[in-house]
Amino acid sequence: MTTQHNISAKTAPVKTFRDGAISVRIWKKEYQNRETKEISTFYSIDMKRGYKSGDVWKNTSSINGRDAFKVSNLFVRANNWIIQQKYSIPAQFEIPLSGQ
């Protein structure tokens, strides 16, 4: 039996990083320990690449080799943002990446 339950409402991502057609989204989830009532915050990350099929825009989680560097940089930026949130680090201390 679990001692935690999700107290987060279904919401939009808390942060999105983009580079061209690629976006990395950060989702925040809060859980409350049933016994101690302590709230814990967890972050998850997903990635999508937009592409056009005919007249319709679609998304995929698949990337091609040309986009690997972009995706890597976006994940590093997302990770830095999560660290800033967890440890209350001011945004001016974000690690700059090439192409920013």
Q: Domain-by-domain residue ranges, the chain?
A: 4-93
**Residue range 8-26, pLDDT digits in tens:** 666 899 999 999 999 999 9
Cα-based angle 61, 91, 8 (whole degrees, multiple of 5) = 55
Residue 34 confidence (pLDDT): 87
In 3D, which of 40, 27, 29, 33 has the Cα closest to residue 2? 33
Residue 29 confidence (pLDDT): 92
Residue 2 confidence (pLDDT): 54
Residue 7 confidence (pLDDT): 61
Residue 3 confidence (pLDDT): 66
Residues of the chain with pLDDT under 70: 1-10, 91-100
* Greatest extent of the chain over all pairs of C-alpha atoms, in Å: 54
Calculate the alpha carbon distances from 86 to 14, 45, 71, 82 in Å: 13, 15, 23, 6
